[in-house]
Structure 1
Amino acid sequence: MQIQVQHNPAETQLNSLGVSKWPTWQKEVSIFDWVFHEEEQAYILEGECVVTPIGGTPVSFGKGDFVIFPAGLKVKWEVKQPLHKHYRLDGNALTQAWKRLKAALKLA
């Protein structure tokens, strides 16, 4: 499982994915643990971050980067400058809720 970072993707690529219509998320400067229950694609509008997979190598990204986080990845986030991103999660609301419920109940 590897985090993929594409620096300054082409505007045509972002448009074809509909990135501008994706929801946004913001986070202040902080350090926290996170689990990606499904694949997440993100386009970084503002900020600078280092995400370190548990037992892996730190990955840095920031404004203008397109990032893909694989499903099942456990990481530690370090938000160095306030983060603002567009994001899209794999699946629909029902499958996303089911994955989170299974994880919370430790069913799989």
Structure 2
Amino acid sequence: MPEITIEHNPSEERLKELGVSNWEIWEKEISEFPIDFDETETAYILEGEILVTPEGGEPVRILPGDLVVFPEGLNSHWQVVKPLRKHYNYD
């Protein structure tokens, strides 16, 4: 089963290396919905809080300052606990 990976508070160098500041921004109000990833997404959380539950897995709490990789093939349920704002990029 594809796993979500989280890097907590990556360094400025790491964010620059990845070009995070040039990535698109996505915002979402408090809500719940399924997301199935047909390609790998890397996201950097600017604001908010989400609980992402992989199909058949345990919920993962994602907070501001987290650099998260949602792998291709991941089927998940999202619960946006606090309004979300994130940079994102597809491989």
CA RMSD of aligned residues (A): 0.5
Partner of 2:51, secondary structure, is: strand
Partner of 1:84, secondary structure, is: strand
How far off its partner does 1:48 sit?
0.4
Moved over 2 A (4+): none
2:53 corresponds in structure 1 to: 52
1:36-94 C-alpha deviation (Å, 9 max, x unpaired): 1100000000010110001011111111110000001000000000000000012xxxx
The one-letter amino acid of 1:39's match is T
RCO (CA 8 Å, sep 6+): is it higher in 1 or 2? Answer: 2
TM-score, normalising length: structure 2 = 0.97
How far off its partner does 1:3 sit?
0.2
2:63 corresponds in structure 1 to: 62
The one-letter amino acid of 1:54's match is E
Consecutive unaligned residues in structure 1, runs of 5 or more: 91-108
Aligned length: 90
CA distance in 2, matches of 1:62, 1:27: 14
CA distance in 2, matches of 1:88, 1:81: 21
How far off its partner does 1:25 sit?
0.3
1:24 corresponds in structure 2 to: 25
Structure 1 or 2: larger helix share? 1
CA distance in 1, matches of 2:77, 2:62: 14
Structure 1 or 2: larger strand share? 2
Rg comparison, structure with higher value? 1
